[in-house]
Structure 1
Amino acid sequence: MTVQRLALLMTAAALLGGCGENAKLPFQAGVGPKPQLPEPTQSLIPTVKVSKAVGWQGTHAPVAPPGFKVQALADRLEHPRWLYKLPNGDVLVAESNTPPKPEGTTDGGSGLMAWAKRTAAGIVMSRAGADAQSANRITLLRDADGDGKAEVRTVFISGLSSPFGMALVGNELYIANADAVVKVPYENGQTEITATPVKVTDLPAGINHHWTKNIVANGDGSKLYVTVGSNSNVGENGLEAEEGRAAIWEVDPRTGQKRLFASGLRNPNGLAWKPGTSELWTVVNERDEIGSDLVPDYLTSVKDGAFYGWPWSYYGSHVDARVQPPRPDKVSQAIAPDYALGTHVAPLGLTFSDARGMPQNFSNGVFVGEHGSWNRNPQSGYKVVFIGFQDGKPTGMPIDFLTGFLNQDGEAQGRPVGVILDQQAALLVADDVGNTVWRVSQAQ
């Protein structure tokens, strides 16, 4: 069968609702603190179940549980990806998209699998434009009267390079671009930065299979922690292309020197400190193409020096036979994550809850923004979930907190990315398809 023939079959499969491995499974496997994992499966034609991006129509909006109110803090943004709250309550929004690829390269390699992924990405991003240029700016939002809507909206800083994570240390704001951490001076209440960013340290870039880089500071601001995703699904571009990737780096903000803090994390994104502790937590996007119900994306605490398996194994010691040559020595070192979020949900945002803004049943745990699947039938993710904590660890099943991002036709009205708490501990959600920052607060 020719590649052209297979391509036509794959396109038809996407339009008809997916095909390939485990296409008809009616449940979401691999969820919770002790997930049960099926055997891996592969097929010549991969599962491609995509959700066309259509945006919100009229007064439609996401849906929260009873007792909550959902409103737009700001809309008509340009691909809002990440959020950061400044000490005075101002909210920074990174408006960002994929950086341009180096000349002569393609993202994801060649062949049928790469074609499927590019096709999926193109359909999912159709509203914003799969190849839309990045706004490369951070916008400031200020809700001065506390009504849940931003009256002040300014371009805080522009001319960045696919910015994502942000962290304020003293009077310096650190920004994680796709290729470097940079910093600019900041004074409390400032609504615009005109200073030229100063490079702190370079980050692995290039083809950028995963381009988003997040950043958090520790309690005293002496260290920064930066996420760098892998440059492939399971190392198919060669391990040389993975140098310094699939990892969290610890950076000295004064000197720019860095060391590997944790590795084997295919694509870590959200970072958050567990309140009252020095425990760093993250959410990670795991690998694709071995079944609709493998591999679970996860939430985990991050231990200094720990290895989490990628690419040789997943969820601890489950060997990925696609990765050659095998490395049993690496598999034996792999740490199993704390909590499985479900397969292909694409967790990006992560923030701990706060009883100041949440009722008791949502006061102790984390909110996770799940961007949504492309390699699963039926779809998974496309929502914000809450995972409760007990005795310092995640427990139970995820609870849907903000839903409705998919319409009745399975099209994406929005897709959640970054999640943070605002000054009143209400939840803010960056929606990069709906081009909106949503605010979820307790109804009065």
Structure 2
Amino acid sequence: MRRFPDGWRLLLGATLLCAAQLTAARDALPIERLSLLPGFHVEVLSDQVPGARGMVLGPKGTLFVGSRAQGNVYAITLDPSRAYAAKVRTVASGLDMPVGVAMRNGTLYISAVSRIVKLDDIEAHLDNPGKPATVYDKLPSDTHHGWRYISFGPDQRLYVGVGAPCNACQRDENRYAIIGSMKPDGTDWRVVARGVRNTVGFDWQPGTRSLWFTDNGRDSLGDDVPDDELNRLSTVGEHFGFPYCHAGDIADPDFGREKACRSFAPPKAKLGAHVAALGMRFYIGKQFPAEYQGSIFIAEHGSWNRSSKVGYRVVRITLDAKGEVAKQDVFAQGWLSDDDAVWGRPLDLLTLPDGSLLISDDYAGAIYRITYRKP
């Protein structure tokens, strides 16, 4: 039998132990409880991503993931099959709720409440990324709805969600309850949409390049109102109702007398009250059946103060030939059990180049991968 030097035996043992730990980690979460449509399959890419929130893929295939309370941004090196995480690194730490991550020309942009920061050429420096440089530092510092989703649009501008610093209140409509955008160097800040209570997910429709986004409805009006919203921006500066009107037709009890609901852009779809609709993406892959092309997937993070829980699932929105919402279906569920026990909370979504769909889960600290094989 071949004998290895002591150093090699230690290295081999550590490698086998690491592989065993990765396998055990991928098997630890009860994904057998998840229910998907026939042909769809779910696996755990990693459960070593504490507080996993926003996701973006680097040009060399590294998956970057933000977090909230943890203050970290992670870089996940995928194995060649993309079936699991080969390595998880922390490339930024000590940041203020770095939920949002975006990528442009190899540079990673990160939201940090009042600031947008960046790490240049990040995939060449995963083991030594350095300190993030500040791009923009004039965003509100309020932490209530202060975690910011960010993404680059087809116009190569960085879009930033800025939530209301309250449940329902009137604040400067040029600073709060808006979606804004800027050039990649942090200049030329513009307000794109107003009256948006808190969006933590937006994307651009392929072909039309129109901006769609989720928005969370206010609390304290009961278990069943108002609905969270799916909206589409038609004109720059369009107003979507907050704080005067919710879900297109519910006047706010405190501010609704000031401006009528008909004054604002109505939602394209009502998503249910308190479901906490966060991440949303158009499906741009080709692995799923053809009818999924152009569908919108929405991660429902789940209610936090409803008398019985709702959400905790991923839904699919189908659009008709005119780009209007035709129907809503449940795509994946099972993170919430019949007795209201929760073991996971879907948050963001991302299509990989092979057409599989990733889902982040901050509650379980996990990333799931959904694939399709014809039954």
TM-score category, normalised to shorter length? 0.7 to 0.9
What number of residue pairs does the alignment pair up?
346
1:82 alignment partner, one of 45, 54, 69? 54
The 5 A counterparts of 1:167-186 are 167-186=102-121
Residue 248 (1) aligns with residue 179 (2): yes
Alignment-mate amino acid for residue 210 of structure 2: E
Instruction: Name the CA distance, whole Å, in 2 between partners of 1:265 and 1:143.
Output: 35
Instruction: Name the CA distance, whole Å, in 1 between partners of 2:142 and 2:293.
Output: 40
The 5 A counterparts of 1:155-234 are 155-186=90-121, 188=123, 190-192=125-127, 194-221=129-156, 223-234=157-168
Conservation of the 8 A alpha-carbon contact between 1:89 and 1:423: no
Residue 314 (1) aligns with residue 246 (2): yes
1:357 Cα deviation after fit: 2.0
Q: Which one is further off, 187-196 or 410-419?
A: 187-196
Conservation of the 8 A alpha-carbon contact between 1:80 and 1:95: yes
Residue 272 (1) aligns with residue 203 (2): yes
Instruction: Name the CA distance, whole Å, in 2 between partners of 1:285 and 1:291.
Output: 14
Residue 65 (1) aligns with residue 37 (2): yes
What secondary structure sits across from 2:228 in the alignment? strand
TM-score by structure 1 length? 0.73
Conservation of the 8 A alpha-carbon contact between 2:58 and 2:106: no
Q: Which structure is higher in strand share?
A: 2
The 5 A counterparts of 1:11-30 are none
Describe the shift of the 1:315–1:406 C-alpha distance in structure 2 as closer, same or farther (beyond 3 A): closer
1:95 alignment partner, one of 67, 77, 82? 67
- Structure 1 gaps of 5+ residues are 1-55, 98-133
Instruction: Name the CA distance, whole Å, in 2 between partners of 1:332 and 1:397.
Output: 24
Spell out, residue by residue over 1:320-343, the C-alpha distance to the aligned partner (whole angstroms, 9 max, x if none).
Answer: 12227x323x75531111111111
1:347 Cα deviation after fit: 0.7
Describe the shift of the 1:394–1:427 C-alpha distance in structure 2 as closer, same or farther (beyond 3 A): farther
1:302 Cα deviation after fit: 1.8
1:414 Cα deviation after fit: 0.4
Instruction: Name the CA distance, whole Å, in 2 between partners of 1:95 and 1:375.
Output: 22
TM-score by structure 2 length? 0.85
Task: Please name the residue that 1:138 is paired with.
Answer: 73
Spell out, residue by residue over 1:408-436, the C-alpha distance to the aligned partner (whole angstroms, 9 max, x if none).
Answer: 32111100101111121211111111111
The 5 A counterparts of 1:3-18 are none
- Structure 2 gaps of 5+ residues are 1-25
Task: Please name the residue that 1:28 is paired with.
Answer: none
Spell out, residue by residue over 1:339-381, the C-alpha distance to the aligned partner (whole angstroms, 9 max, x if none).
Answer: 1111111011111113412113433311100001134344221
1:425 alignment partner, one of 341, 349, 355? 355
1:278 Cα deviation after fit: 2.1
Spell out, residue by residue over 1:157-201, the C-alpha distance to the aligned partner (whole angstroms, 9 max, x if none).
Answer: 223221011222224221111221112211555534523222222
Conservation of the 8 A alpha-carbon contact between 1:265 and 1:310: yes
Instruction: Name the CA distance, whole Å, in 1 between partners of 2:118 and 2:369.
Output: 28
What secondary structure sits across from 1:396 in the alignment? strand
The 5 A counterparts of 1:315-330 are 315-316=247-248, 318-323=250-255, 326-328=257-259
Instruction: Name the CA distance, whole Å, in 2 between partners of 1:204 and 1:252.
Output: 15
Instruction: Name the CA distance, whole Å, in 1 between partners of 2:239 and 2:214.
Output: 15
Task: Please name the residue that 2:221 is paired with.
Answer: 290
Residue 402 (1) aligns with residue 335 (2): no
- Counting aligned pairs with the same residue, the percent is 28
Conservation of the 8 A alpha-carbon contact between 1:186 and 1:193: no
Conservation of the 8 A alpha-carbon contact between 1:273 and 1:279: yes
Conservation of the 8 A alpha-carbon contact between 2:118 and 2:133: yes
Task: Please name the residue that 1:27 is paired with.
Answer: none
**Structure showing greater relative contact order (alpha-carbon pairs closer than 8 Å, 6 or more residues apart):** 1
Describe the shift of the 1:419–1:360 C-alpha distance in structure 2 as closer, same or farther (beyond 3 A): same
1:400 Cα deviation after fit: 1.2
The 5 A counterparts of 1:31-42 are none
